[in-house]
Structure formats: C-alpha cells, structure tokens
C-alpha cells in the first residue's frame, strides 16, 4: 500500500524545466514511480544526461525541445506528446530564471526575460494543457514551482519574487476554477536549494543569513523534493489536495526569532 499510493504507472508527465536540477530530480522520481516522463527544455545535452539516468534506473522518458514562453511551441509540444503517448496526465511548470540586480537598476529587458519565463510561460502552459484536460475530461494534476520569495519578501530578487508571487496566486485561482472537473492545481515551494538559477545570488554573506534562518541548518537536496511532488502528482495519494502550497524548506518558513 505504501508504494501503490504513489504509483504513476500508465501516466504521462510533461515536466517543463525537466532538464534542470530540481525538476530533473522530480522527473527521475516520476519515472521511478512508473510514469513516462517528457522532459521539456532547450538544452539537449542536459536532457540526454537526465534521460540516461532515467533509463538506467529502468524508467521511461523522452525529450522535446521547446521555449515554454511561446504558445505555438507549447501547442506543438502537446500535440506531439498526445500523438506519441496517447495522453497527458501530469504537468509540471518548473522553468525559471533569477537575477540579483538591485531594484533601481533593473533594466526592462531583464524584467521582461524573468517575467516571460517564470510567469508568462506558466500562464500559457496552464492555458494550453488546461484546455486539453478540460476538453478531454482528464483528471489531471498540475504542479507549478513556486518559491519562498513568492510567500515572503526576500531581498535582492525583486523581479523573481514578483514572478513567483503571481504563480502562487494563479495556482490557487485555477485550483478553485477546476476542482469540480477533477483537475488539481498545486504549488510546490522549495526552500533554499542550490541550482543554476540562484547561484549568482548565493554569495557567502547571504548563505550565512539563510543558514541562520533555517532550523535544519543546511540547503535542501534536489532528491528531497521528489516525495512531495509524487504526493501532488498521484491521484491515489493526493486526490483531495488542490490549491495547496506544499512547502519543502527545512523549517525556514517557521522561523521567526
């Protein structure tokens, strides 16, 4: 029973950002649970490495290159996945970028880039795949990657924080809208996990402050997001969970003084 609750056999999971560190680990977890995982990104070399890990562990996966901020590419992606796998059951929106630029110095180009990838891409994916789920009466799970900065104001990441706050709000709105249709929408909220998008922000002084505010006194490891993601993805384990912000942060959000 403990494993069957999280069984994803026969499911197809599309993981946008699956070539990255955090969503890559989630992809491997989904594949280990029996899903066919479609990695979506723009780095074929990273995808090949992640797919090798999936297949070596006995899982199934594929890669489709796409720019998640472009509707036409996501529509083509959906059509290809349905043609090849027959359906889609799970969508993970995990592509993201960050920048430590001080607020008064943020150029418009940087703002647009972050908002396009972190927010616009999530909106478009939820529209494209949401339409498919609604029209085909799929009891689906959508997992949007949020951030502690979407819940709490964090210094030095102004545009990133705005983009993630929007994702948190969108997820709750969609959860309310689609719950009667059996479509669940949740936000997976990592605490501090070193990854490509935040390496410029994690300078020694900031790391010290993070550790002082984290009861676990360490960074998270990508594998530690897998259990939470499986819970949110599984119809057996998470069938009554929607509109939830699943925080995995080593106690960061519980720390006050």
Residue 13's DSSP bridge partners are 37, 90
- Measured distance CA(31)–CA(232) in Å, rounded: 15
Radius of gyration of the chain (CA): 17
Mind telling me the catalytic residues?
Answer: 160
Residues 6+ apart with CB under 8 A from 43: 19
Residue 191 sits at the vertex; the CA angle it makes with 190 and 192, to the nearest 5 degrees, is 115
Estimate the share of the chain in helix, then strand, then coil, as percent rounded to the nearest 5. 50, 15, 35
Element (H, E) at 122: helix 121-135
Cα 49 to Cα 25, 26, 119, 232, distances in angstroms: 12, 15, 27, 26
């Amino acid at each position: 029973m403990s494993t069957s609750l999280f069984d994803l056999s026969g499911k197809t999971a599309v993981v946008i950002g699956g070539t990255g560190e955090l969503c890559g680990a989630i992809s491997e977890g989904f594949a280990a649970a029996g899903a066919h995982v479609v990695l979506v990104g723009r780095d074929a070399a990273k995808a090949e490495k992640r797919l090798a890990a999936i297949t070596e562990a006995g899982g199934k996966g594929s890669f489709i290159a796409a720019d998640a901020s472009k509707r036409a590419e996501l529509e083509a992606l959906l059509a290809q996945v349905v043609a090849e796998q027959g359906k889609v059951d799970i969508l993970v929106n995990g592509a993201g970028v960050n920048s430590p630029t001080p607020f008064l110095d943020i150029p418009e180009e940087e703002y647009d880039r972050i908002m396009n990838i972190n927010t616009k891409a999530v909106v478009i994916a939820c529209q494209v795949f949401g339409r498919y789920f609604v029209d085909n009466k799929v009891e689906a799970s959508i997992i949007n990657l949020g951030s502690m900065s979407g819940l709490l104001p964090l210094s030095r990441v102004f545009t990133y924080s705005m983009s993630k706050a929007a994702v948190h709000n969108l997820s709750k709105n969609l959860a309310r809208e689609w719950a009667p249709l059996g479509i669940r929408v949740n936000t997976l909220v990592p605490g501090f996990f070193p990854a490509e998008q935040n390496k410029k922000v994690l300078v020694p002084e900031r790391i010290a402050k993070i550790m002082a505010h984290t009861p676990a006194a360490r960074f998270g490891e990508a594998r530690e997001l897998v259990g939470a993601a499986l819970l949110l993805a599984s119809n057996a384990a998470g069938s009554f969970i929607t509109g939830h912000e699943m925080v995995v942060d080593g106690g960061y959000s519980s720390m006050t003084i």
